[in-house]
Amino acid sequence: MALGVVAHLSQELGPRASGTEQERKAAQYLVSQLEQFGYSAWLQEFTVTTLSPSTSSLTLESPDALSVGVAPLSRSSTGEVKGRLVPAGLARPDELPAEGLAGNIALVERGLITFQEKVNRLAEAGAVGAVIYNNAPGNFRGTLREAGAIPVVSISQEDGARIQELVAAGTVEAVLTVNQEVHPSQNVIAEKPGGPDAIGVVVLGAHYDTVPDVPGANDNASGTAVLLTLAEQLQNQPLPFTVRFIGFGSEELGLRGSRHYLDSLSEQQRRDIIAMLNFDSLGSGESLGVLGDSELVGRLVEIGKEKGIEVRSSSALRGGSSDHASFQRLGIPAVMFVSRDSSRIHTSDDTLEHVNARLLGDAVRLALGLLESGEPLAGKSP
């Protein structure tokens, strides 16, 4: 069952970027699966704002008009800026012009230091925009760690070389524009009610969107498959709490789905959530990790020992920021299930053949063990 879900999402549907038609198709697939297991599932809709490569642009105005293909860096600021294009190496401290960059658009190379460090330094020196050219053929998609203070785009290595020649030959004025678009996105929600004596709600969640142009077998068809398998297996299982299954949309844009979900709840509804288990990128490599609430993590490690499942609980595991973080922020005990190998995440190699079916089964058995044992979930009841 679980691998079939990974195959459907990563191969038949393929890339399902946040806020796209493909993401919506994936959501509808989740609804149909949940309905097959006897749940009534619904779409919780919201909108996301994304930067638009197709309407963002870099236009050289002199010596000749020339339009260059750009990709805005995620979290770039938006708007139109004009200025002289000025090269600044890799944007290391000694590479900026002594007179600063006031009113200029900086042209820098990718590499050695983070995009954030480059952009912070350029903005502090007065640059009104930044153009980062690739250090390998073609263009790339970059991400800033924090919201950028100026518009920032990437261009191909080839265009970078061409513009540098023009800049070396004389003054080049340019207009840099970064635009955004609004798109619909959605969460998929289904519930197994816990009866009149229910002690609260346990949320099981996994995001089903991907970054653009990747199959997303591990990130996160793997977690989505575990979520659906749990829904199937818990269908007729009496439990002392309500279980809410949520497929989150637009996680890759910054946990948008989980944030929207929590924002949509009343204070009381938030207090009713006794725990959140998040399944993200848990299908690659040889062992499973659990991160988060120390009591729940401790219990999961014990359950792993009882069932002969290797579980790591190192806080050094990658992937600390996923939808569980939205719940943690509100003080809701949360755990993330994630595997150790994150090497193919956000690449075109994140494909079905690199997904280890055993890890999916391990995650299902561990989560079932925790849900069935009652403790310490019951202890989290408000």
Count CB atoms within 10 A of the CB of residue 12.
Answer: 10
Q: Is 219 in the site for Zn ion (CB under 5 A)?
A: yes
Q: Which CB atom, from 154 or from 258, has the smaller least distance to Zn ion?
A: 258
Strands (E), the chain: 42-60, 66-68, 71-72, 79-87, 105-109, 129-133, 152-155, 173-192, 201-207, 242-248, 273-279, 288-292, 311-312, 334-339
Instruction: Kindly state the smallest distance separating residue 173's Cβ from Zn ion, in Å.
Output: 41
CA dist 110 and 157 (Å) reads: 9
x-marked contacts with Zn ion along 162-201 as a string, rule CB under 5 A: ----------------------------------------
Q: Which CB atom, from 139 or from 222, has the smaller least distance to Zn ion?
A: 222
Given the structure tokens 């959605």, which residue do they identify? 186
Q: Which stretch binds Zn ion (CB under 5 A): 61-69, 274-282, 292-300, 306-314?
A: 274-282
**Count of residues for the chain?**
382
Q: 229: closest CA among 37, 72, 23?
A: 37
Q: Which stretch binds Zn ion (CB under 5 A): 40-48, 51-59, 217-225, 307-315?
A: 217-225
Q: Is 339 in the site for Zn ion (CB under 5 A)?
A: no
Instruction: Kindly state the smallest distance separating residue 281's Cβ from Zn ion, in Å.
Output: 5
Instruction: Kindly state the smallest distance separating residue 251's Cβ from Zn ion, in Å.
Output: 6
x-marked contacts with Zn ion along 276-305 as a string, rule CB under 5 A: ----x-------------------------
Q: Which stretch binds Zn ion (CB under 5 A): 9-17, 216-224, 266-274, 323-331?
A: 216-224
Q: Is 220 in the site for Zn ion (CB under 5 A)?
A: yes
Q: Which stretch binds Zn ion (CB under 5 A): 135-143, 187-195, 214-222, 292-300?
A: 214-222
Do residues 257 and 19 lie in contact, with contact meaning Cβ atoms separated by under 8 Å?
no
Max CA-CA distance within the chain? 78
Q: Which stretch binds Zn ion (CB under 5 A): 37-45, 127-135, 155-163, 220-228?
A: 220-228
How many residues make contact with Zn ion (CB under 5 A)?
3
Q: Which CB atom, from 228 or from 239, has the smaller least distance to Zn ion?
A: 228
Written as one string, the DSSP assignment of 242-304 is: EEEEEEES-GGGTSHHHHHHHHTS-HHHHHTEEEEEEE-S-SSSS-EEEEE-HHHHHHHHHHH
Q: Which CB atom, from 134 or from 220, has the smaller least distance to Zn ion?
A: 220
x-marked contacts with Zn ion along 86-125 as a string, rule CB under 5 A: ----------------------------------------
CA dist 280 and 360 (Å) reads: 11
Instruction: Kindly state the smallest distance separating residue 267's Cβ from Zn ion, in Å.
Output: 29
The sign one gets for the Cα dihedral 116, 121, 127, 132 is negative
Q: Which CB atom, from 272 or from 280, has the smaller least distance to Zn ion?
A: 280
Do residues 148 and 75 lie in contact, with contact meaning Cβ atoms separated by under 8 Å?
yes
Q: Integer distance in angstroms from the first to the last C-alpha of the chain?
A: 35
Q: How buried is 32 (Cβ within 10 angstroms: 0-12 exposed, 13-18 middle, 19+ buried)? A: exposed
Q: Is 323 in the site for Zn ion (CB under 5 A)?
A: no
- Contact footprint for Zn ion (CB under 5 A): 219-220, 280
